Amino acid sequence: MRLLLTGGGTAGHVYPALAIVEALRQEAAANPAELLYVGSRGGMEKDIVGRAALPYADIAASGLRGKSLGALARGLIQLGHGLVQSLRILAGYRPDAVLATGGYVCVPVVLAAWLRRSPVLIYLPDVEPGLAIRFLSRFATRIAVTSEDSRRFFDARKVVATGYPVRPEIRALDRTAARKRLALPTDERVVLVFGGSRGAQSINEALAGGLPSLLGLAHVVHVCGLADEAAARRRQAGLDPVLTSRYHLYPYLHSDLMAAALVASDLVVSRAGASALGEFPAAGLPSVLVPYPYAGAHQRLNAAALDRLGAGMTLDDAAVRSGALMPVVESLLVDGERLRRMSAAARSIDRPDAARSIALELLYLARHKEARR
């Protein structure tokens, strides 16, 4: 059996696929499937997939949203190149089923799979689909979604609600082990602040403005993003030496260390990417969510899903830029009962079987394809 996976553009499109790969390996341990990951040329997904020891092929791919007419024309030409490359890959690999987890790289791959009559399972990490997934849903055999709120965007006959497939590292750690991994104390509050794989300028600047006060209440694990690392290092150098030991600055954390940071923390401040819907509940982690205000603003629905259940609080990016973030964070840190309620609410929506459910859907499609040969 041969399975092809595709997705990229952000870590939120890649890590769910890798969690599904682990579930596939467990389900088909006696007769393991061949796996191939197709990503974009020069995309960040290549490094992440390489760490998982998966065979990788790349294609030309480009997003089309918000481009000038000239850039749009170049993007369409690149999309055409990507389709030709995808057809060649599929002709040589002949997958029994294809899994797509989002991002513009999925478009030529899914179109090629449809043209070659290979069944396609789309997994939607976010509540609201982006343009690529909306377009590709008509070519999908089956669509797995994180949230029941996503059904309204698709043909309901294709949809199965599975939850978010969480990377196994998060469930493998307890808080004591996670804090030891990051050299954090076992008996103090810990706040994790991050803006996704690329960082978030508004969150970083808000943290900078209130950092000394916050460090008086908690240790801070700050994943600032590569673009803001130099500025964050300068701020770190200017801290009182007593506070410096409470500020743990990283430009980026790879999978195992990020899992430790999630499990070790009492509260997270972050964007509202798709991982918030799965990884925060798996860690029982209360959240203050600052949805990214651009690129379709789909993060607002992700944040609303956690906010509505009492697992998170949502702040607009504009409010964060106006100084609203630090008072909210500090008020939560001194309210232990509220943090406990938010943690329990987060855990209540955890779906530990999500990766296995999606893996079984993919295996079913593949076996059905094999039976028709």
DSSP string, 42-57: T-THHHHHHHTT--EE
Question: What tens-digit pLDDT sequence spans the chain (373 residues)?
Answer: 999 999 987 777 888 999 999 999 888 776 788 999 999 888 888 888 888 889 999 998 766 555 566 666 776 777 888 899 999 999 999 999 999 998 889 999 999 999 999 999 999 999 999 888 999 999 999 999 999 999 999 999 999 999 999 988 899 999 999 999 999 999 999 999 997 656 688 999 999 889 999 999 999 999 998 888 888 899 888 888 889 999 999 988 887 899 999 999 999 999 998 889 999 999 999 999 999 887 656 899 999 999 999 999 999 999 999 999 999 999 999 999 999 999 999 999 999 999 999 999 999 999 886 555 4
User: Using CA atoms, how far apart are residues 7 and 100, in angstroms rounded to an integer?
Assistant: 6
Residues of each domain in the chain carrying CATH 3.40.50.2000: 2-166+352-372, 169-348
Q: How far apart are CA 147 and CA 104, in angstroms?
A: 22
Torsion of the alpha carbons at 78, 82, 85 and 86, rounded to the nearest 10: -170
Q: Could you tell me if 36 and 67 are in contact, meaning their C-beta atoms sit under 8 angstroms apart?
A: no
d(CA 192, CA 271): 12
Please tell me the CATH code under which domain 169-348 is placed: 3.40.50.2000
pTM metric for this prediction: 0.88
Q: For residue 64, how many C-alpha atoms fall within 13 Å in the half-sphere facing its CB?
A: 17
**Helical axes 201-215 vs 229-237, angle rounded to 10°:** 20
CATH for 2-166+352-372 (3.40.50.2000, 3.40.190.10, 3.40.309.10, 3.30.565.10): 3.40.50.2000
| Residue whose structure tokens are 């929506």 | 349
CA 2-94-20 angle, to 5 degrees, is: 35
Measuring CA to CA, how many Å separate 79 from each of 62, 129, 202, 285, 299? Answer: 6, 20, 33, 39, 26
